[in-house]
Amino acid sequence: MTQSSVAASVDGQDWVLLNASPDLRQQLAATPALHPKGLRGSPVKAVVLTNGDVDHIAGLLTLREKTPFTLYATQATLDVLAANSVFAVLDASLVQKVAIGLNAPFSPLPGLTLTAHAVPGKVPLYLEDETPDLQMLGEQTIGLTLETSAARAEYIPGCADLPPALLARLTRADLLLFDGTVWQDDEMPRSGTGAKTGARMGHLSMQTSLARLGGLTNRRFFTHINNTNPALLPDTPARAAVQAAGWALAHDGLEITL
């Protein structure tokens, strides 16, 4: 129920974080496998960012405690961090920043290959102008393909549309973690919690995703779920529809082995 981050490992000893949420300290404390092994040691060897949203970068400030790790992001996202001097607390002598290219595999951990690919999205809220492009396709919003010798997963916590190339990619995954921010596009205006629709925030609704991804047969979970989403509540029509379609909801403490 906290904000969106995922930890991945090949051997259960060294880990890579996929995004660093504002709730990262709480998430690390609740996960024994990620606890420090010494006074200045950590199993977290790398962090990979999918965009510059506050939900995905604020937790970097929790990782400033003089412990080395490698930070991977597109150049567009690294530029966002560089433009805000608060991220200078990440000691450059300990935190290596590596620019990743689209469709160019890299290995943050031995035995694990990641590939960044563009998904439709927008720039972070704090960088918007008066008329933001809500379905930009480039370095500002990416999905991640994770591969080992045994399995393949897709992690896409933010996505504004499902073009044919992305649909084809998702069919090749053994596991999918996909944007489930809102159940219906006008959910926040309906609930009185905000004026923006899901599309205005750069997110597909679950209703749309269930319809567009109806042909998938892999293991699939919605992630990055807003607290207005009725699918979070048991015994609701939204939860029943998610389950009937063969999907599940990601939650704190969820462990998936591939």
Edge-to-edge strands of the sheet including 15-18? 6-9, 15-18, 44-48, 69-73, 95-99
Instruction: Output phi, psi for 22, to 5 deg.
Output: -60, -20
Alpha helix ranges (H) inside the chain: 24-29, 54-57, 75-82, 164-171, 187-191, 206-212, 237-244
Q: Are residues 103 and 157 in the same domain?
A: no
pLDDT at position 1 is: 76
Q: Are residues 97 and 29 in the same domain?
A: yes
pLDDT at position 244 is: 96
Q: Are residues 172 and 251 in the same domain?
A: yes
Angle (CA) 89-90-96 rounded to 5° is 155
pLDDT at position 118 is: 97
pLDDT tens per residue across span 176-195: 999 999 999 999 999 999 99
Cα 11 to chain centroid distance, Å, stands at 21
Q: Are residues 16 and 77 in the same domain?
A: yes
Are 196 and 226 within 8 A, CB to CB? no
Are 122 and 136 within 8 A, CB to CB? yes
Q: Are residues 81 and 2 in the same domain?
A: yes
User: How many other CB atoms are found less than 10 A from the CB of residue 229?
Assistant: 25
Per the DSSP assignment, residues forming a β-bridge with 177 are 155, 221
Residue by residue, DSSP assigns 176-220 as EEEE-SBSSTTHHHHHTS-S--TGGGT--BHHHHHHHTTT--SEE
Residues 6 or more apart from 140 whose CB is under 8 A from it? 51, 52, 74, 76, 77, 121, 122, 123
Q: Are residues 82 and 185 in the same domain?
A: no
* Total structural domains within the chain: 2
pLDDT tens per residue across span 81-105: 999 999 999 999 999 999 999 999 9
Tell me, yes or no, if the pTM score tops 0.75. Answer: yes
State the Cα–Cα distance between residues 89 and 60, nearest whole angstrom: 9
The CA–CA distances, whole Å, from 89 to 56, 104, 190 equal: 17, 29, 40
Q: Are residues 5 and 102 in the same domain?
A: yes
- Would you place residue 13 in the very low, low, confident or very high pLDDT band (cuts 50, 70, 90)? very high
DSSP secondary-structure letter at 231? G
Q: Are residues 155 and 258 in the same domain?
A: yes
- Residue 81: which domain range? 1-107
130 occurs within a structural domain: no
pLDDT tens per residue across span 139-153: 999 999 999 999 999
pLDDT tens per residue across span 223-257: 999 999 999 999 999 999 999 999 999 999 999 99
Final residue of a structural domain among 47, 81, 107:
107
Q: Above 80 in pLDDT, residue 106? A: yes
pLDDT at position 123 is: 93
Per DSSP, the three-state class of 114 is strand
Q: Are residues 257 and 157 in the same domain?
A: yes
Q: Are residues 89 and 160 in the same domain?
A: no
Write the CATH number for 72: 3.60.15.10
